[in-house]
Structure 1
Amino acid sequence: MEPALRLGAGVSKQEIREKIWDYMEAQNIADFPRPVHHRIPNFKGSSHAAEKLLHLQEFKRSSTVKVNPDAPQKNARFLVLDARKTLLVPTPRLRTGLFNKIIPPPGATKEILRKCATSQGVKNYSVPIDLDSKVLMDLIVVGSVAVSEKGWRIGKGEGYADMEYAMMVSMGAVREETPVVTIVHDCQVIDIPEDLIGAHDLTVDYILTPTRIIVTGCTKPKPQGIIWSMISEEMMERILILKNLRFREKQAGKDVTLQKMHPAHLKNIQTQAPLQNAGQVAFDRPADVTHSAHCNDEHGTSKVEPSSVTTVYVGNIPKDARVSDLKRTLREYGAEPLRLNWQGAQGRAFLDYKDLATAEDVISSLKDLNFSGNTLWVKLAKKQK
């Protein structure tokens, strides 16, 4: 099958991402959430593509399956649960750990299992898996922005899938022969220059699209563990589980020297406030809605105790949008706040979260989100309590 997109010589990973995202939007292949830029793109037909998992012998034989938390893999998560297999989902941006194990309620119907497979369900029906859990993956399902029939994979550019796999190797959770599957639209299957793929990049063994099952036959070794020389001090602070893994590997006598940083970059990081109590997006109670006008500009001030609460400003909300629409969208993204201060007449809202780390996760999740036809502006409110 001929690739939908052809690439010129000397193309970069980011150029490939942009071409895929642009093409999916222009051809109306993209599905909610849109625009798909800077995301693992959801696409029309993703549920049908995921159903091809049922045809893989590796899936039939598996008992524990790890599936990434992105939208196009939602049906894959449901299929794992519906087959009564153990489903593991990475924690958002690896803030608090590596995985959550999804535990549906006893006697769960298919409808409940579908809810368990959503981002909100992952939060409501999961327990964390720590480094000492001795879990062993039988199959791994990851998202991709682009992938080649040879098994080369390009993600959205943040490196979390590669990092997750390297961590799994370090904790003994994968075997060398553990198969890796990606679920994409046919247009995302393109020719990728091999020289773009490094030792840290995860490759795939199977590609599932709405029309095909592609066996890549990839022989390039997958990451053999964390390459500490590629890890920065800033990344160590942001992904706390790395500290634990680094300590363990240092105790085992491995070289865990971190990436050398340019002095100017180091100075910038040292002047930033460290993130404390970093955690995945999680909320203590349902959102309250306050139709208040106590904020007259975008310098929002939280009224929620305790004083550590962090407020997120959401702007460019269409004037005809309803607060119920925003609440539903926030629930879909696992971004339900402690309190929502709705100022729809001014095209804005203020969301209170329990701490800075949670607020930053939410900002990342909602980045470039299309809401009722407008791309939302999402950032920390300038004035915090």
Structure 2
Amino acid sequence: MSESSIQVSKQTVRKRIWDLLERQNVAPNGSRGRIPSFEGSDAAAELLSKHAAWKESSVIKAVPDRAQQPVRARALDEGKHLYMAAPKLASVKPFYFIDPNSLSIPAWEVADRRKAIEYAHPVEVAEMPPVDMIVCGSVAVNTQGIRLGKGAGYSDIEVALLQEANLIPADTLIVTTVHELQVVEQQLPECEHDFRVDLIVTPERVIECPSHRRPPGIIWESLTPQMISAIPVLANRNLQESDNCRFS
């Protein structure tokens, strides 16, 4: 299947799930085109907090989407170091660090992505420690761990940057919290740069996914020139590699 065919297939699934969530009134209006916030996201976060891997984790990297706000709040409440990506990775320092020991307002408020920026410290990838758990959002996911995001590709790039920096040990779990209706049984299309999840947590259950190979890092062929130029950490690397080739 060609790359364009895969993207069409992905978008077909996304549309079906967005329609379903709206029809069942478990996601707010305006979720289309986004990682949907969902009814029971706090229950999913609570269920995740009971998992042994969560209890053993001290460094959490989480997406800034509203659906994962309960996870971020719980991480801060429990004293875990929290890292989030800068919006659209559009900063020379592409991640934010939130220190749970320096908060002057409730964790739930800091976990709001709009408020988090006020309390976060921008950091480069080289400044980050190894990550114990990665929490991402999804539009759809199957029990094999194949997930579909909203289609922008930022989560894949975030994971790839950490993977290249050796900040994702083999025992680091990649987790997604979703509504039960977002879990599908069908085979989902995926590309070389797509990562799979190890754990799916809904408000009702925890699904352990089979082990799999992770992408080794940035797959440059999958990125458009526009995406590279819009993400400083990629644009700078691309320029450096071009200079090295020119002067080698």
Please give the alpha-carbon distance, in whole angstroms, between the structure 2 residues aligned to 1:215 and 1:65: 19
1:216 alignment counterpart: 209
* 2:196 corresponds to 1:203: yes
Corresponding residue to 1:72 among 64, 67, 75: 67
Please give the alpha-carbon distance, in whole angstroms, between the structure 2 residues aligned to 1:250 and 1:132: 21
* 2:229 corresponds to 1:232: no
1:161 Cα shift?
A: 0.8
Q: Is the alpha carbon distance of 1:113 and 1:134 closer, same or farther for their aligned partners in structure 2, counting shifts above 3 Å?
A: closer
Please give the alpha-carbon distance, in whole angstroms, between the structure 2 residues aligned to 1:236 and 1:92: 15
2:99 alignment counterpart: 103
1:52 Cα shift?
A: 1.2
Q: Is the alpha carbon distance of 1:134 and 1:21 closer, same or farther for their aligned partners in structure 2, counting shifts above 3 Å?
A: closer
1:114 Cα shift?
A: 1.1
The TM-score with structure 2 as length reference comes to 0.89
- Cα pair 1:199 1:222 within 8 Å, conserved: no
Deviations 1:123-149 (A, max 9, x none): 110001113214211100000000001
2:116 alignment counterpart: 122
2:5 alignment counterpart: none
Q: Which runs of 4+ in 1 moved over 3 A?
A: 104-108, 244-253
Please give the alpha-carbon distance, in whole angstroms, between the structure 1 residues aligned to 2:196 and 2:219: 16
Please give the alpha-carbon distance, in whole angstroms, between the structure 1 residues aligned to 2:160 and 2:244: 17
Q: Is the alpha carbon distance of 1:28 and 1:134 closer, same or farther for their aligned partners in structure 2, counting shifts above 3 Å?
A: closer
- Cα pair 2:173 2:198 within 8 Å, conserved: yes
Q: Is the alpha carbon distance of 1:169 and 1:106 closer, same or farther for their aligned partners in structure 2, counting shifts above 3 Å?
A: closer
2:49 alignment counterpart: 54
Please give the alpha-carbon distance, in whole angstroms, between the structure 2 residues aligned to 1:251 and 1:216: 42
User: Mapping of 1:1-385 within 5 angstroms?
Assistant: 12-31=9-28, 34-96=29-91, 97-104=93-100, 106=102, 108=104, 112-194=106-188, 196-217=189-210, 219-246=211-238
Q: 5+ unaligned residues in a row in structure 1: which ranges?
A: 1-10, 254-385
- Residue type matched to 2:144 in 1? K
- Cα pair 1:203 1:220 within 8 Å, conserved: yes
- Cα pair 2:134 2:175 within 8 Å, conserved: yes
Q: Is the alpha carbon distance of 1:129 and 1:240 closer, same or farther for their aligned partners in structure 2, counting shifts above 3 Å?
A: same
- Residue type matched to 1:154 in 2? L
Please give the alpha-carbon distance, in whole angstroms, between the structure 2 residues aligned to 1:155 and 1:121: 24
Structure with greater proportional helix content? 2
Please give the alpha-carbon distance, in whole angstroms, between the structure 1 residues aligned to 2:206 and 2:127: 33
Q: Is the alpha carbon distance of 1:112 and 1:152 closer, same or farther for their aligned partners in structure 2, counting shifts above 3 Å?
A: same
Please give the alpha-carbon distance, in whole angstroms, between the structure 2 residues aligned to 1:176 and 1:246: 27
Deviations 1:279-336 (A, max 9, x none): xxxxxxxxxxxxxxxxxxxxxxxxxxxxxxxxxxxxxxxxxxxxxxxxxxxxxxxxxx
Deviations 1:163-209 (A, max 9, x none): 11111112222123321000000000002425x11221110011110
- Residue type matched to 2:115 in 1? G
Paired residues, number: 237
Please give the alpha-carbon distance, in whole angstroms, between the structure 2 residues aligned to 1:133 and 1:95: 17
- Cα pair 2:81 2:100 within 8 Å, conserved: no
1:104 Cα shift?
A: 4.6
- Aligned to 1:12, the other structure's residue is in SS state helix
Please give the alpha-carbon distance, in whole angstroms, between the structure 2 residues aligned to 1:198 and 1:151: 13
- Aligned to 2:125, the other structure's residue is in SS state coil
**Bigger CA drift: 125-134 or 89-98?**
125-134
Please give the alpha-carbon distance, in whole angstroms, between the structure 1 residues aligned to 2:133 and 2:237: 22
- Residue type matched to 2:127 in 1? S
1:370 alignment counterpart: none
Q: Is the alpha carbon distance of 1:27 and 1:83 closer, same or farther for their aligned partners in structure 2, counting shifts above 3 Å?
A: same
Please give the alpha-carbon distance, in whole angstroms, between the structure 2 residues aligned to 1:220 and 1:247: 33
Please give the alpha-carbon distance, in whole angstroms, between the structure 2 residues aligned to 1:55 and 1:248: 44
- Cα pair 1:65 1:85 within 8 Å, conserved: yes
Please give the alpha-carbon distance, in whole angstroms, between the structure 2 residues aligned to 1:63 and 1:42: 25
The sequence identity of aligned pairs, in percent, is: 36
The TM-score with structure 1 as length reference comes to 0.58
Q: 5+ unaligned residues in a row in structure 2: which ranges?
A: 1-7
1:334 alignment counterpart: none
Please give the alpha-carbon distance, in whole angstroms, between the structure 1 residues aligned to 2:151 and 2:74: 27
**Bigger CA drift: 225-234 or 237-246?**
237-246
- Cα pair 1:66 1:88 within 8 Å, conserved: yes
1:246 Cα shift?
A: 3.7
- Residue type matched to 1:98 in 2? P
